Amino acid sequence: MIRVDDQEVQWFEGMTVTDLLKQIGYEGSCAVVRINETHVSRPTFDQTLVPDGAQVYLIPMIAGG
């Protein structure tokens, strides 16, 4: 099980960020997520595994700088 923002989501072995976003219907609308303390960006969603028990945050928008 993992948490995405405030919701629990079923985890499976080998789950990538792309899989996760597909599962929760967020595919394509999120450019950056944070897994625990690490930011992960869209270009690496396919290769980044989500560990079991992770807290994932969908970063709404990177607008500052």
In whole angstroms, how close is the CB of 48 to another protein at the nearest point? 10
Q: Which CB, 4 or 15, lies closer to another protein?
A: 4
- Helix, strand, coil shares of the chain as percentages rounded to 5? 15, 30, 50
Binding site for another protein (CB under 8 A): 5, 29, 31-32, 34, 37-44, 57, 59-65
In whole angstroms, how close is the CB of 1 to another protein at the nearest point? 18
What is the layout of strands, in order, in the sheet containing 32-35? 7-9, 2-4, 55-59, 32-35, 38-41
In whole angstroms, how close is the CB of 26 to another protein at the nearest point? 10
